[in-house]
């Protein structure tokens, strides 16, 4: 399963980042993203508290209703316990804002795709040495596509994702710079649009991303 999910991420080139969305709205959101061509979604843990039921319920619903259509992962996972919880809910990949050896190790033990976060060349290399399948460069929007290109010079053997400040206007530049995929949050999945139930607008935004990425 792990290799299949990894190839799907690289094929679709985009992971939709779901943050601050109620599990009551998650299926309508997932359907809108799916209609827009997105096949990979990440539901984030809220690290400000200890109640992860919304995240876990959302992951479980997506995995149940869209299995075979969408790959669903857990984001902002910062402990091995959270990795285990996400895996039980049906998560297929684990994404973190940082590089934590214990998180990566637990992810690989559970045969899930590991995508830890890093910024410097040292952090990227360390994450890969620990067992990362992809390394999330964050905050990519501030660093720019040239930063990805520079990292790919000495670290061309390490597949990267670019996350943070990625919109339809610049997602293609990050892929052309060498990123295997991009992670897109608020510019793709606006909590305000979800609250207003403007799922058609979210679908249209997703289509804009996919039109750009499909041509690369």
Q: In 45-186, which ranges are E strands?
A: 71-75, 93-95, 113-115, 117-118, 135-137, 160-163, 181-184
Number of domains in the chain: 1
Tell me if residue 42 is catalytic. Answer: yes
Beta bridge partners of 73: 42
Task: Report the pLDDT value the prediction gives residue 1, as an integer from 0 to 100.
Answer: 83
- Tens of pLDDT along 131-147? 999 999 999 999 999 99
Q: Is 208 a catalytic residue?
A: no
Q: Is 127 exposed, middle or buried (0-12, 13-18, 19+ CB in 10 A)?
A: buried
Task: Report pTM.
Answer: 0.96
For residues 33 and 214, give the distance between their C-alpha atoms in angstroms, rounded to a whole number. 16
CATH code at 179?
A: 3.20.20.70
Lookup result for tokens 């990227």: 124
Sorting pLDDT into bands at 50, 70 and 90, what band is 215?
confident
At 73-103, the pLDDT tens digits run 999 999 999 999 999 999 999 999 999 999 9
- In whole angstroms, how far apart are CA 66 and each of 31, 61, 107? 9, 8, 22
Supply the pLDDT for residue 144: 97
| Portion of the chain with pLDDT greater than 70, in percent | 100
Q: What pLDDT score does 50 carry?
A: 82
> Strand, coil or helix: what is 161?
strand
Catalytic residue among 13, 60, 106, 136: 136
Residue span of the structural domain in which 178 resides: 2-214
Query: What CA–CA distance (Å, rounded) separates 81 from 58?
Result: 18
Cα 24 versus chain centre, distance: 21
Q: Which of 161, 156, 165, 170 is nearest to 137 (CA)?
A: 161
Active-site annotation holder among 13, 42, 60, 106 = 42
């Amino acid at each position: 399963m792990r290799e299949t999910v990894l190839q799907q991420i690289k094929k679709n080139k985009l992971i939709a980042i779901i943050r601050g969305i109620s599990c009551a709205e998650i299926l309508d959101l997932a359907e809108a993203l799916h209609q827009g061509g997105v096949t990979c979604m990440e539901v984030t843990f809220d690290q400000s508290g200890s109640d992860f039921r919304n995240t876990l319920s959302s992951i479980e619903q997506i995995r149940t209703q869209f299995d075979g259509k969408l790959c669903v992962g857990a984001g902002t996972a910062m402990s091995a316990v959270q990795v285990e919880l996400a895996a039980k809910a049906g998560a297929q990949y684990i994404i973190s804002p940082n590089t934590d050896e214990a998180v990566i190790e637990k992810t690989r033990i559970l045969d899930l795709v590991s995508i830890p976060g890093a910024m410097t060349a040292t952090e990227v290399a360390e994450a890969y040495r620990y067992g990362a399948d992809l390394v999330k460069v964050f905050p990519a929007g501030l660093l720019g596509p040239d930063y990805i290109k520079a990292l790919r010079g000495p670290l061309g053997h390490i597949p990267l994702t670019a996350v943070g400040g990625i919109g339809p206007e610049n997602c293609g530049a990050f892929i052309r710079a060498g990123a295997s995929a991009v992670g897109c949050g608020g510019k793709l999945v606006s909590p305000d649009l979800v609250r207003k139930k403007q799922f058609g607008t979210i679908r249209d935004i997703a289509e804009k991303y996919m039109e750009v990425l499909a041509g690369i």
